[in-house]
Amino acid sequence: MTTEPAQPQHIAIIMDGNGRWAKKRFLPRTVGHVKGAAGVRRIVKACADRDIQYLTLFAFSTENWRRPPEEVSTLMDLFVQYLQKEMADMSKEGVRLRVIGDRSAFSADLQARIAAAEQATAHNTTLHLTVAANYGGQWDILQASRAWQKANPTLSIHDLREQDLAAYLSTADLPDPDLLIRTGGESRISNFLLWQMAYTEMYFVDDYWPDFDEASLTKALTWFASRVRRFGRTDDQVANAANAAS
């Protein structure tokens, strides 16, 4: 087990603050989301350049349907535009796209575009980009439990082990995030990857998402490199394991 993580293998990001970024400039919230979508492209590239292998972005939560209809519609449009415009370029850069969440609530057109982008990039390995859309951590745990029961109809709930459930989560083939970044000044995880972030290092930063750039990412990575990850062990155990490994 690695105790001195020079660099995270998997970064998860809660891209918060688009609305406040716009409000500060007397612009409609939707303009903030457009700027936020441009920030997505920038950060995907920055992660690929830094050899980060997994990036998971929280684009739309199960609770975001409660927003004004025009804002929900802008977010859906941005998602479509992103799939239309950016995916071909990103695919050339080796980005593999996956979308996690309950996509049945999306329009048939958006569902088809997501499936096409996933298929077109399935062979890419440079950066695994996962977009969480209509996603909620509680939803994920529930759907995994149901899927496990469906696959194992003869087993009882008492047979269910942690590793069994993990295999049915929507992130089953991804490593757990090493680093969570949340922009926008809030210090909470807002029903994101609840199960998967049991040992994730959490970095909360005041910058609004549209302002989070390559230099901000570098700062987050520097902070991460200073963390000692104990995974439940003591400082002494961690130090001994590091000495034994060197």
Contact set with ligand FPP (CB under 6 A): 15-20, 33, 36-37, 40, 57, 59, 64, 75, 78-79, 82, 131, 184, 209
How many Cβ atoms are within 10 Å of 164's Cβ, its own excluded? 15
CB of 134 to ligand FPP, least distance (A): 12
CA dist., res. 18 & res. 4, Å (int)? 34
CB of 41 to ligand FPP, least distance (A): 8
CB of 211 to ligand FPP, least distance (A): 12
Nearer to ligand FPP, 17 or 101 (CB): 17
Nearer to ligand FPP, 59 or 144 (CB): 59
Nearer to ligand FPP, 47 or 131 (CB): 131
Query: Could you give the 3-state DSSP secondary structure of residue 2?
Result: coil
Is residue 16 part of the annotated active site? The answer reads yes
CA dist., res. 208 & res. 183, Å (int)? 6
Lookup: tokens for 13: 């990001």
Query: Could you give the 3-state DSSP secondary structure of residue 14?
Result: strand
CB of 45 to ligand FPP, least distance (A): 14
Nearer to ligand FPP, 40 or 179 (CB): 40
Nearer to ligand FPP, 135 or 224 (CB): 135
Sign of the dihedral defined by the CA atoms of residues 128, 131, 136, 140, in that order: negative
Are 242 and 71 in contact by the 8 Å Cβ rule? The answer is no
Q: Exactly one of 18, 49, 51, 64 is catalytic; which is it? A: 64
CB of 17 to ligand FPP, least distance (A): 4
Is residue 207 part of the annotated active site? The answer reads no
What is the largest distance, in Å, between two alpha-carbon atoms of the chain? Answer: 59
In the bound complex, which residue of the shown chain has the CB atom lying closest to ligand FPP? 19
The strand ranges marked E within 183-244 are 201-204
Reference 17, options 241, 216, 229, 171; nearest CA is 216
CA dist., res. 189 & res. 194, Å (int)? 8
The separation between CA 24 and the C-alpha centre of its own chain, rounded to angstroms, equals 26
Q: Which residues are identified as catalytic?
A: 16, 64
